């Protein structure tokens, strides 16, 4: 019998929704009135910063190509004020309204749901929806 590592167990548990996200890699979607979404997602070796084994970026842009919203794991983020400021254990975070906030990655399906929920909020605030 083969023993699974913690990383293997994590990937198997979330495998059902991971393929949906990976299939969206490279997609650019027109959201109307010049707003657009770009999604990138690819598998990477699981590690401390990306324990789920995915490098992802899901972004909403304005007609002037300004990034309005982005969920990604490109870099670590810190939260709180000095001296108790803490750096998140993983690189998962999101950018909205010029602020960067840690994001708790659960699985690919939750990431997609959270992203599209925020896209709807931003577009409604801009009068697009």
pLDDT in tens, 52-101: 889 999 999 999 999 999 999 987 676 656 666 566 677 888 999 888 88
Domain tally, the chain: 1
Alpha helices in 26-107 (DSSP H): none
Backbone φ, ψ for residue 100 (5° rounding): -110, 130
**Domain for residue 83, yes or no?**
yes
pLDDT at 12 over 50: no
Q: Which of 11-20, 97-106, 120-129 has the lowest mean pLDDT?
A: 11-20
Average confidence score pLDDT of the chain = 84
Query: Which position has the higher pLDDT, 58 or 15?
Result: 58
**Domain for residue 1, yes or no?**
no
**Domain for residue 70, yes or no?**
yes
Give the whole-angstrom CA distance, residue 58 versus residue 30.
14
Domain assignment of residue 18, given as a range: 6-125
Average pLDDT over residues 4-12: 52
**Domain for residue 98, yes or no?**
yes
**Domain for residue 64, yes or no?**
yes
pLDDT of residue 5: 54
Give the whole-angstrom CA distance, residue 10 versus residue 95.
26
């Amino acid at each position: 019998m083969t023993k699974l590592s913690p990383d293997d167990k994590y990937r198997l548990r979330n495998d059902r929704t991971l393929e949906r996200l990976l299939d969206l890699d490279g997609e650019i979607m027109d959201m109307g009135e010049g707003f657009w979404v770009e999604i990138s997602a690819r598998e990477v070796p699981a590690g401390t910063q990306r324990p789920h084994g995915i490098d992802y970026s899901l972004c909403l842009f304005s007609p002037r190509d300004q990034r309005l919203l982005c969920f990604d794991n490109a870099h670590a983020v810190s939260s709180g004020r000095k001296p108790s400021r803490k750096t998140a254990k993983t690189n998962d975070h999101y950018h909205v309204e010029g602020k960067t906030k840690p994001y708790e990655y659960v699985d690919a399906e939750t990431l997609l749901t959270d992203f599209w929920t925020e896209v709807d909020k931003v577009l409604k605030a801009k009068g697009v929806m």
